[in-house]
C-alpha cells in the first residue's frame, strides 16, 4: 500500500468554516465538469505530482459509503514489475474479449484503444475490503454488494476532482480480477473494483471516445426513466 502517512498537499483545499453558497457560476462550472469529465486513454508522459493525487484521493474519501464503512483500498502500482503484470493481464483479457466479437464489430473493437496502461504516470488498483468491520454492517446486511458500490462512489468523486485539476482518469476493467489480486498481493477479503490510469490528457474532449469511435453513442435520459 501507498505510505498513508505521506503529507497531503492541502493548499488547494478550501479552509472555509462556513457552509458554502453554491452560486449560479459554481453550478454552471459543476455542469461543465460533468460534461467535460472523460474516460482518458491518451496521456502525455509528463510526471504527475503525487501530492496532488493524494490531495484528490483524500477528498474522494469524503464520498458516501454504506454505514460509513469506507471500504476503499488503493494500491499504487509503481514498479515496472507490477505494471508489467497488469499489462500482461490486460493483453490476455483483451484478446479474449476480441475473440467474443465477430465481423465488423470485431474489426471495430480491435481498433479501439481501451487502456492507457502503456503511458499513464500514475496507476492505482482499487479494491473493496469486504471483511472490514468499520460501520458494523449497517446497510450492508441484505445488500453486501453495497461495499463495492461505496468504492465506486469514491472513484467517481476522484474522477471529477482530478478532472477539475486538469488531470485525466481512465478506468480499466478488461482484466482478470483474481489474477490481478494475486499479482498485486491484495489482502484476503479484498475484491478488485477497477484499475485507474491517471495522467495529463493529450487533449480535452467533450464527447466519450467510444461515441467518437462509433462504438456506442450517448442516449437520451428519457430512455432510463420509468414512472410507477
Ligand atoms: C466500471 C467501468 C469500467 C470501465 N472499463 C473500461 C475499460 O476497461 N476500458 C476502457 O477503455 N474504458 C472503460 N471504461 C470507460 C467507459 O468506456 C467510458 O466511461 C464510457 O465510454 C463513457 O465515456 P466517458 O467516461 O468519457 O463519458 C469503464 C467505465 C466504467 C464506469
Q: What is the pLDDT along the chain (228 residues), one digit of tens a residue?
A: 333 334 445 455 567 789 999 999 999 999 999 999 999 999 999 999 999 999 999 999 999 999 999 999 999 999 999 999 999 999 999 999 999 999 999 999 999 999 999 999 999 999 999 999 999 999 999 999 999 999 999 999 999 999 999 999 999 999 999 999 999 999 999 999 999 999 999 999 999 999 999 999 999 999 999 999
Q: What is the 3-state secondary structure (H, E, C) of 139-155?
A: CCCCCCCHHHHHHHHHH
Look at ligand 1, atom 3, and give the residue with the nearest C-alpha.
173
Distance 172 CA to ligand 1 centre (A): 7
Rounded Cα distance, 112 and 217, in Å: 15
**Which pLDDT score is estimated for 5?**
37
Q: Which of 171, 180, 201 is the pocket-test mutation for ligand 1 (most atoms within 8 Å of CB)?
A: 171
CA dist 54 and 4 (Å) reads 9
Q: Are 93 and 147 in contact (CB under 8 A)?
A: no
Distance 46 CA to ligand 1 centre (A): 23
* pLDDT value at residue 3: 37
Q: What is the pLDDT of residue 1?
A: 36
CB of 181 within 8 A of CB of 192? yes
Predicted pLDDT of residue 16: 76
Q: Report the distance separating Cα 203 and Cα 200, nearest Å.
A: 9
Nearest CA to ligand 1 atom 18: 39
Q: What's the pLDDT at 13?
A: 58
pLDDT at 6: 42
Class at the top of the CATH hierarchy for domain 38-203: alpha beta
Q: Among all chains, which residue has been given the C-alpha cell 454505514?
A: 67
Residue-level pLDDT at 70 = 98
In this prediction, residue 11 carries a pLDDT of 55
**DSSP readout, 21-74?**
P--HHHHHHHHHHHHH--B---B------HHHHHHHHHHHTTS--GGG---EEE
CA 82 to chain centre: 18
**Pairing state between β 190-199 and 72-76:** unpaired
Backbone angles phi, psi at 217, to 5 degrees: -85, 160
Q: Tell me, what's the pLDDT at 4?
A: 36
Amino acid at each position: 500500500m501507498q505510505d498513508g502517512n505521506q503529507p497531503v498537499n492541502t493548499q488547494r483545499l478550501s479552509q472555509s468554516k462556513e457552509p458554502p453558497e453554491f452560486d449560479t457560476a459554481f453550478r454552471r462550472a459543476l455542469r461543465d465538469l460533468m460534461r467535460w469529465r472523460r474516460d482518458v486513454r491518451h496521456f502525455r508522459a509528463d510526471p504527475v505530482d503525487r501530492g496532488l493525487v493524494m490531495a484528490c484521493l483524500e477528498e474522494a474519501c469524503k464520498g458516501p459509503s454504506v454505514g460509513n464503512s469506507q471500504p476503499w483500498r488503493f494500491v499504487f502500482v509503481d514498479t515496472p514489475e507490477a505494471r508489467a503484470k497488469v499489462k500482461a493481464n490486460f493483453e490476455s483479457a483483451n484478446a479474449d474479449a476480441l475473440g467474443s466479437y465477430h465481423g465488423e464489430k470485431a474489426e471495430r473493437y480491435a481498433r479501439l484503444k481501451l487502456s492507457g496502461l502503456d503511458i499513464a504516470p500514475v496507476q492505482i488498483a482499487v479494491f473493496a475490503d469486504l471483511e472490514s468491520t468499520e460501520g458494523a454492517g449497517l446497510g450492508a446486511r441484505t445488500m453486501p454488494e453495497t461495499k463495492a458500490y461505496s468504492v465506486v462512489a469514491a472513484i467517481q468523486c476522484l474522477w471529477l476532482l482530478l478532472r477539475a485539476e486538469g488531470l485525466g482518469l481512465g478506468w480499466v476493467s478488461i482484466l482478470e480480477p483474481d489474477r490481478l489480486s494475486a499479482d498485486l498481493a491484495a489482502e484476503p477479503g479484498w475484491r478488485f473494483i477497477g484499475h485507474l490510469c491517471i495522467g495529463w490528457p493529450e487533449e480535452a474532449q467533450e464527447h466519450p471516445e467510444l461515441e467518437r469511435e462509433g462504438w456506442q453513442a450517448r442516449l437520451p435520459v428519457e430512455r432510463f426513466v420509468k414512472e410507477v
